[in-house]
Structure 1
Amino acid sequence: MKKIILRLGVCLSVLFISGCWDRKELNELAIWIGSGWDVANNDGVEFSGQIVIPSNIQTQGGGGGTMQKGFFTISASGKNLSDALQNIQTKLPREAFSGQRRVIIFGEQFARRGLKRELDNTQRRAEVSLRTDVFVIKGATAKKALSVSNPLEKPPITATLGEHELSGGRGNTAYLDLLIAATSDGLRPSIPVLEFSSSQDGGKKGKSDSANPPLLRIAGVAIFDKNLKMQGILNMEENRHMLWVMGILKNLTIAVNKKDINASLTLNKLSSKIEPHISKNQQITFTVTLKGEGSLKENNSGLDVQYLNNLKRLEKEFEKISQKQVQQTVTKVQKKYGLDIFGLGEVIHRKKPNQWKSLKYDWDKKFSEADIIVKTDIKIKELGMDGPSLLFKESEIKK
Structure 2
Amino acid sequence: MSRRSIFCYVFCFCIIFTTGCWDRKELNDRAIWLATGFDFDEKKDLQFSGQIVVPSLMQSQNGGGGAAKEFLTISSNGKNVNDSMQNIQEKLSRKEFSGQRRVVFFGEEFAKHGIKNHLDVNSRSHEVSIRTDVFVVKEGTAKEALNLNYPLEKPPATATIKAHKEAGGRGDKAFLNFLIAANSDGIRPTLPVVEMGNFDDGENKGQESSSKSILRLAGLAIFNEELELIGYLNNQENRHFLWVMGNLKNMTISAPVKDGSASLNLTKLKSDIVPEISRNKKLRFVVKLTGEGSLLENNSNLDLVEPKNIKDMQRKFEKRVKKQIHKTITKAQKEYGEDIFGFGETIRKKHPGQWKSLNKEWDNLFSEAEVSVQVNLKIKRIGMTGPSLLYKESEIKK
TM-score by length of 2: 0.94
Shift of 1:290: 0.7
Give the distance between the partners of 1:6 and 1:322, measured in 2 at CA.
75
Aligned to 2:166: 166
Q: Is the contact made by 1:38 and 1:106 (CA closer than 8 Å) also made in structure 2? A: yes
Q: Is the contact made by 2:258 and 2:300 (CA closer than 8 Å) also made in structure 1? A: no
Give the distance between the partners of 2:176 and 2:354, measured in 1 at CA.
28
Instruction: Map 1:78-227 onto structure 2 (within 5 A).
Output: 78-204=78-204, 214-227=213-226
Q: Is the contact made by 1:338 and 1:365 (CA closer than 8 Å) also made in structure 2? A: yes
Aligned to 1:15: 17
Give the distance between the partners of 1:341 and 1:219, measured in 2 at CA.
17
Give the distance between the partners of 1:123 and 1:369, measured in 2 at CA.
36
State the one-letter code of the partner of 1:351.
K
State the one-letter code of the partner of 2:197.
S
Aligned to 1:297: 296
1:344-375 CA-partner distances (Å, limit 9, x unpaired)? 11111111111111111121111111111111
Q: Is the contact made by 1:32 and 1:52 (CA closer than 8 Å) also made in structure 2? A: yes
Q: Is the contact made by 1:205 and 1:214 (CA closer than 8 Å) also made in structure 2? A: no
Aligned to 2:252: 253
Give the distance between the partners of 2:330 and 2:184, measured in 1 at CA.
22
State the one-letter code of the partner of 1:79.
K
State the one-letter code of the partner of 1:47.
F
Of 96-105 and 19-28, deviating more is 19-28
Q: Is the contact made by 1:221 and 1:235 (CA closer than 8 Å) also made in structure 2? A: yes
SS of the counterpart of 1:32?
Answer: strand
How many residue pairs match? The answer is 391
State the one-letter code of the partner of 1:55.
S
Aligned to 1:388: 387
Shift of 1:13: 3.2
Percent of pairs identical after alignment?
54
SS of the counterpart of 1:146?
Answer: helix
Q: Is the contact made by 2:257 and 2:313 (CA closer than 8 Å) also made in structure 1? A: no
State the one-letter code of the partner of 1:165.
K
Q: Relative to 1, partners in 2 of residues 1:66 and 1:382: Cα closer, same or farther, differing over 3 Å? A: closer
Shift of 1:15: 3.1
Shift of 1:391: 1.2
1:229-287 CA-partner distances (Å, limit 9, x unpaired)? 00001000110111111111111111113552310001011011111010000001100
Q: Is the contact made by 1:137 and 1:145 (CA closer than 8 Å) also made in structure 2? A: yes
Give the distance between the partners of 1:370 and 1:105, measured in 2 at CA.
34
Q: Is the contact made by 2:131 and 2:172 (CA closer than 8 Å) also made in structure 1? A: yes
State the one-letter code of the partner of 1:97.
F
Aligned to 2:324: 325
Give the distance between the partners of 2:206 and 2:186, measured in 1 at CA.
45
1:285-329 CA-partner distances (Å, limit 9, x unpaired)? 100011110000000111101111111110011001110000001
| Structure 1: stretches of 5+ with no match in the other structure | none
Give the distance between the partners of 2:314 and 2:260, measured in 1 at CA.
12
Shift of 1:9: 7.6
Aligned to 2:370: 371
Aligned to 1:276: 275
Give the distance between the partners of 1:67 and 1:14, measured in 2 at CA.
53
Give the distance between the partners of 1:233 and 1:313, measured in 2 at CA.
35
Give the distance between the partners of 2:389 and 2:381, measured in 1 at CA.
18
Shift of 1:14: 3.6
1:241 pairs with 2:240: yes
List structure 1 segments (4+ residues) > 2 angstroms apart after TM superposition. Answer: 5-16, 65-68, 203-207
RMSD between aligned residues: 2.3
Give the distance between the partners of 1:7 and 1:93, measured in 2 at CA.
45
1:156-186 CA-partner distances (Å, limit 9, x unpaired)? 0110011111111100000111111110111
1:358 pairs with 2:357: yes
Of 256-265 and 309-318, deviating more is 256-265
Aligned to 2:4: none
Shift of 1:110: 0.3
Aligned to 1:38: 39
Q: Relative to 1, partners in 2 of residues 1:213 and 1:115: Cα closer, same or farther, differing over 3 Å? A: closer
Give the distance between the partners of 1:103 and 1:6, measured in 2 at CA.
51
Give the distance between the partners of 1:276 and 1:165, measured in 2 at CA.
31
Q: Is the contact made by 2:164 and 2:217 (CA closer than 8 Å) also made in structure 1? A: yes
Give the distance between the partners of 1:85 and 1:131, measured in 2 at CA.
21
1:50 pairs with 2:57: no
| Structure 2: stretches of 5+ with no match in the other structure | 2-6
Give the distance between the partners of 1:90 and 1:8, measured in 2 at CA.
47
Shift of 1:379: 0.9
